[in-house]
């Protein structure tokens, strides 16, 4: 299964970049995971937020095929335990999903057309996370899911 994370914005903090790179390296034996960064639009006023979300949404959709299984990361969505998340990965494999895409929005969230394209919506936490922190947490949970499914030890 090919996995993509499409994220609005770049990781700026060195410690988050190092953590992300470490988990990307750890995932390599299990799957390919590619990160696509969509440049965040500059928001000059609150009235521009929807326009910026829509521009970002169009850029996001350019990286999604009709056959991709898309999961948007949203605060008010379903939450999974690590074990349940690992089960979802087993299910994706059983269903023959070839491309799994996670989408992480920017500061103002995701555009409506991306939200409508989603096959599923997942929340990492009820707490608000920066998109940079959410990316690291998501990648770590993907790695943990592979370890759980391979019956390999991983700290709890």
Residue-wise pLDDT tens digits, 127-147: 888 889 999 999 999 999 999
Mean pLDDT, range 12-19, rounded to an integer: 95
Long-range contacts of 133-138 (CB under 8 A, 24+ apart): 133/16, 134/73, 134/104, 135/5, 135/7, 135/11, 135/16, 135/20, 135/35, 135/104, 136/16, 136/19, 136/20, 136/23, 138/5, 138/73, 138/102, 138/104
C-alpha–C-alpha distance, residues 104 and 106, integer Å: 7
- Please write the tens of the pLDDT for every residue from 21-44: 999 999 999 999 999 999 988 877
Q: Which domain holds residue 64?
A: 2-149
Residue 22 domain flag: yes
Residue 154 domain flag: no
CATH at 112: 3.40.1280.10
Q: Which of 27-36, 45-54, 100-109, 144-153 has the lowest mean pLDDT?
A: 45-54
What's residue 156's pLDDT? 58
| Predicted TM-score (pTM) of this structure | 0.94
What's residue 129's pLDDT? 86
Contact 125, 29 (CB under 8 A): no
Q: What are phi and psi of 80, to 5 degrees?
A: -120, 150
**How many folded domains does the chain comprise?**
1
């Amino acid at each position: 299964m090919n996995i993509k994370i499409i994220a609005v914005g770049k990781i700026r903090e060195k410690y988050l970049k190092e953590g992300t790179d470490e988990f990307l390296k750890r995932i390599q034996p299990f799957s390919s995971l590619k990160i696509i960064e969509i440049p965040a639009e500059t928001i000059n006023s609150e009235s521009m937020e929807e326009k910026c979300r829509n521009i970002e949404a169009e850029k996001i959709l350019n990286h999604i095929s009709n056959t991709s299984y898309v999961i948007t990361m949203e605060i008010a969505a379903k939450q999974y335990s690590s074990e349940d998340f690992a089960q979802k990965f087993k299910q994706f494999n059983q269903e023959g999903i070839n491309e799994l895409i996670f989408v992480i929005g920017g500061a103002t969230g995701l555009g409506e057309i991306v939200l409508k394209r989603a096959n599923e919506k997942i929340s990492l936490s009820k707490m608000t996370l920066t998109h940079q922190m959410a990316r690291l947490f998501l990648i770590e949970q993907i790695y943990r899911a592979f370890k759980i499914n391979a019956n390999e030890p991983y700290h709890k």
